[in-house]
Amino acid sequence: MVTPWKTRSRVPENATLHDPRKLAPEVVKLNDNAWCQIVEAFLSSCIKLHDGETDFGINNIEAQSIDPRFLPQVSVGSRVEHVSAKCDFALAMVDKNGYGDMKLCQMADAYTSTLCLPCPIVVKRHGGNAEEVELQLMIWLASALAHMEYLRGLAREPKRPVPPVVGWTVIGHTWSFYIAWSFRSDVTVMGPFNPGNAGTTDVLSIYVLTSLWKRLFEWIQEVYYPAYNELLQGAIDALEEDDRTPGPLPAEDKD
């Protein structure tokens, strides 16, 4: 079984949900890195409010790449190229036991690939390009679905359901939610959703956003993670039974 990850946040203790001035400063002068600090402060506070940092952690993946095996491809002339994207943060859970060469997510980094990453977040400064962050998030979500399809292929259980994946874009104080799912290798992404003007603009928007994250934590624990864990355990059991090691992506199932 996968054991939740306990993380140490670099966020100062005085950055709390009860002082919106620390989470909603003057927007004009802030660059992407400054907005990332605001997002990390908010996520750290949400985790502490939810479960005291026992089930979830914040993983900074800004400088990390996705394994090309799980990326979408496009034709450029006579060549086929991978379409890559990067996210800033991902909500993370980790397997303490380890499974050798088994990748628990789609990331290429040796350590990060041992984490379950149920929710990515792409951050841009106030006034940033909404289409750019949406594209980055959609590619990341598609690669997460491709990785779970990979686990299902290893387990040789084509009928086992793949759970949907979720993510956020953050442009300044505005947080938008997206959900994606796959059917016969076709990926559908719905969004953006911004119920109740959730964000970090003021006290009300912060508490709306906090409530949404509370529901998201519950959904990950009660719905997403059990389905993901079934895929993972099925792949592990099949590999152990056949004395195999994880290899290339399996052929697409046409049924």
Size (the chain), residues: 255
pLDDT band at 8 (very low <50, low <70, confident <90, very high): very low
Residue 112 lies in a domain: yes
Q: ∠ CA(88), CA(90), CA(93), 5° rounding?
A: 155
Residue 3 lies in a domain: no
pLDDT single digits (tens) 119-166: 999 999 988 899 999 999 999 999 999 999 999 999 888 888 899 999
pLDDT single digits (tens) 28-85: 567 888 899 989 999 988 888 876 546 788 999 999 999 998 988 776 776 767 777 8
C-alpha to C-alpha distance for 56 and 44, rounded to whole angstroms: 10
Q: ∠ CA(234), CA(56), CA(121), 5° rounding?
A: 95
Residue 138: CB partners within 8 Å, gap ≥ 6?
85, 178, 180, 189
Residue 11 lies in a domain: no
pLDDT over 70, % of the chain: 77
pLDDT of the residue at 96: 55
Domain that holds residue 226: 24-242
| Structural domains in the chain (count) | 1
Residue 37 lies in a domain: yes
Residue 110 lies in a domain: yes
* pTM value > 0.85: no
Residue 238 lies in a domain: yes
Residue 101 lies in a domain: yes
Q: Decide if 125 contacts 32 (C-beta within 8 A).
A: yes
Residue 8 lies in a domain: no
C-alpha to C-alpha distance for 177 and 197, rounded to whole angstroms: 11
Which tokens belong to 242?
């056949």
CA distances from 78 to 9, 43, 119, 142 (A): 46, 44, 35, 24
